[in-house]
Each structure stands twice: as structure tokens, then as C-alpha cells.
Structure 1
Amino acid sequence: MNVLVIGANGQVGKHVIKGLAKSEHKATAMVRKEEQANKMKELGADEVVLGNLEKDFSHAFTNIDAVIFAAGSGGSTGADKTLVIDLWGAIKAFQYAEKAKIKHFVQLSSIGAGDPDAQPDNIKHYMVAKAVSDQMLMATSLNYTIVRPGPLTNEASIGSIETTDMFKEIGYRSIPRADVATVLIESLSTESARGKAFELLAGDQEIKRALENV
């Protein structure tokens, strides 16, 4: 499949591009700035398209079969950008994907998005944006997978995970960004992951097997 990666220049997005280059899929990296295109090519992107989540980016869906939405406003921005990027940008992507008859839409969300009221006040706006975005995706006609990882690290890939609908507690557990990217990619071709939203941490089950049991 030709996979559009939205948020390709982000930390998880870069791992997704590298992972897709080693898979049977082709990667179309969507970035905001032309100067980011060469980096995407170096990472293995087959195509690069310019697109801004704050504007109309429907052109990015031309000749696309599947989407991995890994975009986010980042921790240094305020609630305004969270609404515009993490929520409204995602909703526009769903709309464009439906019109383009996309086969599978994989969304990177966050652990805790299933119950934003239980999250600390300082990140509640972020969790609400993620929760509403997830719910809006579930309400579309799209085949979807929603991946909700715990705290992210830049450690090397472990290759094994634990998944559940919602962890009761996570303690000091985390997950490498590289493994999150692998989960996003593997979800594209794992039938049992379709129509599912699940939380994700590093664990002891090999990624493919874990996804077959979500």
C-alpha cells in the first residue's frame, strides 16, 4: 500500500518512515516545509508532499491507500495549538480520507485518552483533544486502528510490547518510540487490529503476536 504519513517530521514519524522503507509498503511523507523533504528522502520516503494541518491539505491524499496520523502540536505549545493540530487537523484528515476512500487509517493517540477526566489538570486539554479525536475517528466509515502508547523514550527498540484496552496503572513504565512506530506500521496489515483502540507499553510479547490478540 502507498501510506501517507502525516507528521512525518516528528519523532515517531521519522521512525515510521524508516520502518516503512523496510516493509512491503511505500511511504509518502507529509511535511510542512520544503527544506524537510531531503531528510525524508534520506530516511527512506518514496514521495514527499507539502501539507499544513492548519490549512487545506486534501491534495496529500491523491493515490494514497492508507494513512498513519502521527502528528501532534508538541509539548511546548499551548492549548490553542493542541486544538488546531491534534484535534481539528485530525478531523480534517478523517474527512479527506473518507473522500479518498482510504483503506485503513491508523492514528497515534495517547495513553489516558480513553478517560481524560482521570488525567492531571495540566494535561487535561491535551487528553480531551485526543479523546474527542479518537471518538470522531470511530464515528467515521473508515477502517481504523487507534494506538495509545504510554510515556515515550528514545531508547533502542525492544521489539516486545503489552497491550490492553486501558491500563489500571503504569508506574514508571514507558515504551520506545521505535516500537510505537513498528506497531503503527504492523497495524496496517493486521486484521485483528482493525476497529480497535488500545493502550500500549513495553512488555514481553512480540509485536506481531500482541497485535493479533488485541
Structure 2
Amino acid sequence: MKTLVIGANGQIGRQFCELAHRAGEPIRAMIRDPGQQAWFGERGIETVVADLEGDFQHAFDGCDQVVFTAGSGPHTGPDKTLLIDLYGAIRTIDLASERGVSRLLMVSAMRAENPQAAPEKLRPYMAAKFAADAYLRSSQVPHVILKPGRLTDETASERLATSLEESGGENRISRGNVAHALLHLLKARALVDREFVLLDGTRPIDAALGG
């Protein structure tokens, strides 16, 4: 069965889709704009055109697992944060429940558990993530919530820390490492109802996340 990737055209999403496809994992990349299909098509990755702010039920057809790594982006206002990072996530959780998917892998954020501790401009985003995570926990959908620290474009080391103590207080992780962590979790189907802080570290991914 396939895994639906929501937010596939984002910086983490593209890296994850490429890694998963190379690993032989059946995935379907959900994209909003048909003009985005070329990048995925060149790599042999299946796509479905659907809008997180519109009707996207059809994207779930034939998928038994979902990765949610969508985000409104740093250049949008609180309105898009509400519609995508919060309500888009809630609608995804509801559809996952209705369709009986086996698991939802949610990319959240480390500071989501305490939005007021985040920089002021990030607080609406963190509050949206906080509420979406709470909604997922209260649902009946099996899930894993990933809480990456500050995202960077460093080359993936495939080494993680799962706490600030372990990372030596460094609150950052490369997008590539998040993508590799998602790939590990995609395969580790026995891991359900778990949450992980994700930071750059020294442990191999399988040692850090288990499964």
C-alpha cells in the first residue's frame, strides 16, 4: 500500500519523497499546482493534484499511511497559518480516521508545546502546531509526532539527538536529517503513538528512534 505525502513539494517533503522512492517505498506526492509535477515525474514519483485548503479526499485513495509535512511557509500571514498548519492538519487527521489509515506521521515543531517561548513572529505557527498535535493525540488515529528544532540546510549527517541535553543545547537539525528520520519511521511500522524531539546529534537514526 502507498503512503500519501502531504506537503511533498516543501523542502523536507521533496527530500523525503526522493529518499522513499529510492528505497522502493510506494508513495504518492500530494501537490497543489500541476506545474510542480515535472520535478516528481523526472524522478518517477507518483503525484496527485489536491489542495489542502480545498477538497483533497481523493488523494487518500489506495493509501494506508500518511506523512504530513505541509506548512504555510515563512512569508505568509496568520490567516494561512490557521488554514494550513492548523485546519489543514485537522482535516487530514479527520480523513485519516474516516479512511482507517494505519498511521499518520506528523511533522510538528519542538517549541509547539510552549508557543509563548518561541520568537514572537513564530508564536502563531507554534500555537497552530500545538493545537494540531493535541487534536491528533485525542483522535483514534495511530500516529508518530516529530518535533524538529530550528531547521537548517546543512548536509544530512543521518545522526540524531532526541533532547537538548543530548545535543549539547544545540537547537537545530538539518532538513535532510528530518527526511531521513521520516524514512526510518515509514519503515518502522510498529512505532505508534510516539513523539520524538529531533535535533542534529551523534546517534544513528535507528538507535535514536528505535523500531
TM above 0.5: yes
Structure 1 pair 95–198 and aligned structure 2 pair: CA distance change class (3 A): same
> Any idea what the Cα deviations from partners look like across 1:158-206, whole Å, max 9, x if unmatched?
0100014x76997554211111011112112325642112211000100
Paired amino acid for 2:200: A
- Whole-angstrom distance in 1 between the partners of 2:59 and 2:52: 11
Match of 1:200 in 2: 198
- Change in CA separation of 1:67 and 1:191 when aligned onto 2, cut-off 3 Å: closer
| Structure 1 residue identity aligned to 2:162 | T
Distance 2:169 2:78 in 1: 26
Task: Give, in whole Å, the separation in 1 of the partners of 2:107 and 2:43.
Answer: 20
| 1:137/1:167 CA distance change after superposition, 3 Å | farther
Q: Given the superposition, is the C-alpha separation of residues 157 and 99 from structure 1 closer, same or farther in structure 2, using an over 3 Å criterion?
A: same
CA RMSD of aligned residues (A): 1.9
**Percent identity between the aligned chains?**
36
Normalising by structure 2, we get a TM-score of: 0.93
Three-state SS of the structure 2 residue aligned to 1:112 is helix
Match of 2:38 in 1: 38
Match of 1:78 in 2: 77
Q: Any idea what SS the aligned residue of 2:111 has?
A: coil
Change (3 A) 1:9 1:167: farther
Is contact 2:11–2:175 with CA below 8 Å preserved after alignment? yes
Give the unaligned 5+ runs of structure 2.
none
| Corresponding residue to 1:177 among 175, 178, 182 | 175
Is 1:7–1:71's contact at 8 Å kept on the other side of the alignment? yes
If the length of structure 1 is used for normalisation, what is the TM-score? 0.92
Cα deviation, residue 112, structure 1: 0.6
- Distance between the aligned counterparts of 1:23 and 1:211, measured in 2? 19
Does the CA contact (< 8 Å) of 1:151 and 1:173 recur in 2?
yes
Q: Quick check: 1:8–1:71 contact (8 Å CA) kept in 2?
A: yes
- Counterpart CA distance in 1 for 2:192 and 2:33 is 32
Residue 105 of structure 2 corresponds to residue 106 of structure 1 = yes
